[in-house]
A and B are shown apart, each in its own frame.
Chain A
Amino acid sequence: MKREIMIALKNIVLTIIIVIIFASCDKIEPPYKQSGNTQIETPTRKVLLEDYTGHTCVNCPAAAKKALEIQQLYGDKMIIMTVHAGFFALPTASPFNNDYRTPAGEEWDQFFSLSAVGNPIGMVNRQNTGGVYGIGNGNWGTGVAAIIEDASIIKLEIESSFNETNRKLDVELKSTFLEAASGNYKIVACIVEDSLVSAQRNNDQTIGPATILDYVHRHVLRENINGSWGEDLIAVGQLPSSTSNKQYSVTLNANYKANHTSVVAFVYDALTFEILQVEEKHIY
């Protein structure tokens, strides 16, 4: 009897091993990258990828490259905002003496526990899983793909006018609810400057040497217009089609290149912090 049990046990174990060995391997053959056009014809909800970075963060150039690759797939349905915050963004000795940190960026970084976990790290529409907001750059594509086709409950439009003489920038944010609002929402507006050239530490040989003196920093958060957590937009129970207009007037910092500057605005749920809609408008 015992022998029969042993034989049965061995057979079961062998079967399990064979099943695991042969059923649990996905050998991928080239091409390793997807070539299909994932462009979505009718954009609904746009996605904000916030890339938390720093100029002495060695793995951040690879993450920035990944963000741009994802954006190439989705075009203007995805917006990148690079936030320099935390230890790796500190200005140090030349050539790392630039300071791209912002009060809002630092506040978000601490609130969402991002750089303390380690850079590079990002947020996709500030969604969280089990209380964790930060996503490693290996999952940015997955995070964006998961929500890029979601329906939006808000339409957000940005109007801006820039006076080159006095550098006065007027911004108008127009939000239209497409269905009844079920929560409290806030709106945040930021100034983002693209293609800032300065030094960056790097660990990816396919991008450049260990210190890239003329690294192009893309989509850098420069300023927050209406406070880190923005302004109330709408209250619970607001009816569909209701609109809200916010107007701001700022003087653009003389160091910002106007032809590289844009306004990024987003609406988020005040309870969960999840971003429901985002837009970007170049000021020039």
Chain B
Amino acid sequence: MVFSPITIGNRMKKNLIFICIILAFGSIQAQNSENAGSVNGSFQMDAQFYRPDPSIGITDSTIAGRKIGMNGYGNIIYSLGNFKAGMRYEAYLPPLAGFDPRQEGNGFPYLWASYNSELIDLTVGNFYEQFGNGLIFRSYEEWTLGYDNSMNGLRVVLHPMKGMTLKGIYGSQRFYWQKFERNSRGIVKGVDGEFNLNEAINGWESAPLRITFGGSAVSKFQKDADPIYNLPENVGAFAGRMNLGTGNFNLMTEYAYKINDPSTLNNFIYREGRALLASISYAERGLGIVLQLKRVDNMSFKSDRSITTNALDINFLPPINRTHSYSLTAKYPYATQPNGEMGLQFQVNYKMPKGSLIGGKYGTGIAVNFSQVNDIARKAVNDTTAIGQDGTLGYSSDFFKISDHIFYRDMNIEIDKRFNSKLKGVFQYMNLLYDIATIEGHTGDPAVKANMLVTDLTYRLSGRKAIRAEAQGLWTKQDDGDWAALMVEYTIAPKWFFALADQYNYGNEEKDKRNHYYTVSAGYTQESTRFAITFGRQSEGVVCVGGVCRQVPASSGLTLTISSSF
């Protein structure tokens, strides 16, 4: 269906009515200053001006007339006692390069009102929510990815007794600007309960053992009108979790199960889904140790069977890999493989005490991190069925058996040291194995084996002025070959920064692709308002947040960011 002027008119009218209600509350309260409401919010606009840059593959035809892209939002929340209401305006006109073209548009995709009391929290309209670690339900928004799977419906949170929280959600999920219509996508409903024994039982508040239990159930309904498959219209998923803490130790675990949910992503197999997440940690002053384990088997859970992109996810499978922040160490980020993965992460953070041999005068921080994710082992269900064949159970998989196929392995060590009152540094080494064929869909390409080094030095010139320099190297024989990166940043705290940076793909096998990706940037911050401007090139890459990734194409031009909160 095409949006008719009448439909758009009606939608605008509804938005205006909503705005008027909020303003009316405001004006009523303005007359009654003893119980005045409050308004807060935030604003951001990211605009990019693109220019042709043939040496990195950007021509007039790739820009296709879209010389400027803009992503922007404004978030307003009105609070009055137990009542709150809010709205978020968004505009993608057109979206920045690398964002899904279906985002193009503008309007109010997020409108809500809520009432909170000691016993009950009620929300109508749009909301975000998470059950446990999100293995069977998480709705959230991530601006940098252009990701939003917010619910549109009803949410009830009950606090029937101390230490007990019960949640219920019911609604449909956001899919860009496409309004929910009958059978256009699934309907999601779910309940979650969490019980904190230490809060619930008198006398257990300061018990040496801290215990929290939780459980959740989620169901999605999507009509089956497929002429080939007999599809389940109601797909249920269930999860149980437990958190135990004693002294400096903490153990967290969650197990999730989903009934048959054939979809495009799992090639329409009828196998059930399972996921396990466990974490054990120890923490004391100067020392932190974490071991995390994860097993995922056929756990993609979306409110539309046909979606293969980052949209309409009902659940969230948390990554257990270190999130790197330097430009080259972040070049090959891991994206969760919902069809199957087994992984572990082990991290030790240790602060060498002041005055020790290595700790020196100021102490030295050392972080050692190892993570590896493999595929799960799969076996054919019988002699006549290929593994993963559509319209079958797909495969069988031994819970404890790991496939030899490594998706991702990251070994890194980071040393954080202050040399004197003016100079401090961060030094990092990283060894990476990255199955680019699976993670980025470059089927047939060999896995990237890379070594990386980072040196990050900050020198304080005076009380408010500092200069920071980053030097990075990435050495690999695969993909685009070797890279080097340099960055110099001058900061006049708390208002100004100026930076020069360059990434150089000097080891690319194709000589005409040995490009420099330079940027010049500056920023100004006044209270909670920030302006930043960057001119230069951005290399092609992948941006991931929480294991969810998007491809970023190479671009060249000027970027302007304005953000503010009030």
Contacts and interface: CB of A to CB of B under 8 A. Distances in A.
A271 to B, nearest CB: 8
B101 A116 contact: yes
B228 interface: yes
Contacts of B226: 141-142, 145
B228 A20 contact: no
Interface of B: prevailing SS: loop
B234 A24 contact: yes
B229 A139 contact: no
B230 A28 contact: yes
A225 interface: no
B89 interface: no
A19 B217 CA distance: 11
Contact of A201 (B179, B228, B238, B444): B444
A74 B227 CA distance: 10
B228 A73 contact: yes
B73 to A, nearest CB: 20
A20 B308 contact: no
A33 B224 CA distance: 12
B158 A34 contact: no
Nearest to A87: B553
Interface string A266-281: 0000011000000000
Interface in B207-262: 217, 219, 221, 225-236, 238, 259-260, 262
B228 A113 contact: no
B388 A130 contact: no
A33 B3 contact: no
Contact of A137 (B64, B105, B306): B306
Nearest to A269: B2
Nearest to B7: A130
B125 to A, nearest CB: 19
B388 A25 contact: no
A214 to B, nearest CB: 16
Contacts of B127: none
B178 A59 contact: no
A235 interface: no
B184 A28 contact: no
B160 A138 contact: no
Given A16-B191, A203-B443, A118 B228 contact: no
B257 to A, nearest CB: 11
Contacts of B161: 6
Nearest to B310: A118
B423 to A, nearest CB: 46
B391 interface: yes
B100 interface: yes
B505 interface: no
Nearest to A36: B227
A206 B158 contact: no
B55 interface: no
Nearest to A130: B178
Contacts of A74: 227
A6 B160 contact: yes
A136 B464 CA distance: 54
A70 B263 CA distance: 16
Which of A10, A131, A271 has the largest count of B CB atoms less than 10 A from its CB? A131
Given A26-B233, A28-B260, A142-B226, 7 more contacts: A26-B259, A27-B232, A74-B227, A130-B177, A131-B3, A136-B304, A201-B443
21 contacts: A13-B158, A24-B235, A25-B235, A25-B259, A31-B230, A34-B227, A113-B101, A116-B101, A130-B178, A130-B179, A136-B264, A136-B306, A136-B307, A137-B306, A139-B306, A142-B225, A145-B225, A204-B388, A205-B387, A206-B390, A211-B443
Closest 8 CB pairs of A and B: A138-B306, A138-B264, A24-B219, A130-B178, A136-B306, A139-B306, A26-B232, A25-B236
